[in-house]
Amino acid sequence: MAEDAQVEDQPSGFAAISLARNASSKPEVDQCFNAAVAAGATAIKSPQKVFWGGYSGYIADPDGHLWEFAFNPYFVFDEQGNLALPD
């Protein structure tokens, strides 16, 4: 995960966990990322195409926790906008 977020894997600085917000489009990823940065988050990795076929970026919140904003073109959302997992 450190490699994907483009941060150094340090025993004292990277918890190997992030929180993620799945978006329904690339523009929504950009919107969430920009809003977080405008609210005081630190941009870590600008949204971009990623190896698994999606689009994502990372910010760090004021406590240093990583958040990923991601669009997965293979995910399906229901009528309420919730991620619909396969049965």
Q: How many Å apart are CA 19 and CA 39, to the nearest integer? A: 17
Give the residue numbers spanning the domain of 38.
2-79
Our count of domains for the chain comes to 1
Examine residue 85 and state whether it is found in any structural domain, yes or no. no
Examine residue 16 and state whether it is found in any structural domain, yes or no. yes
**3-7, 30-34, 57-61, 67-71: lowest mean pLDDT where?**
3-7
Could you report the per-residue pLDDT of 5-55, keeping only the tens digit for each? 888 876 666 667 889 999 989 999 999 999 999 999 999 999 999 999 999
Examine residue 87 and state whether it is found in any structural domain, yes or no. no
Examine residue 64 and state whether it is found in any structural domain, yes or no. yes
HEC string for the chain: CHHHHCCCCCCCCCCCCCEEEEECCHHHHHHHHHHHHHCCCEEEEEEEECCCCCEEEEEECCCCCEEEEEECCCCEECCCCCEECCC
Examine residue 49 and state whether it is found in any structural domain, yes or no. yes
Q: For the domain that residue 41 is a member of, what is the CATH number?
A: 3.10.180.10
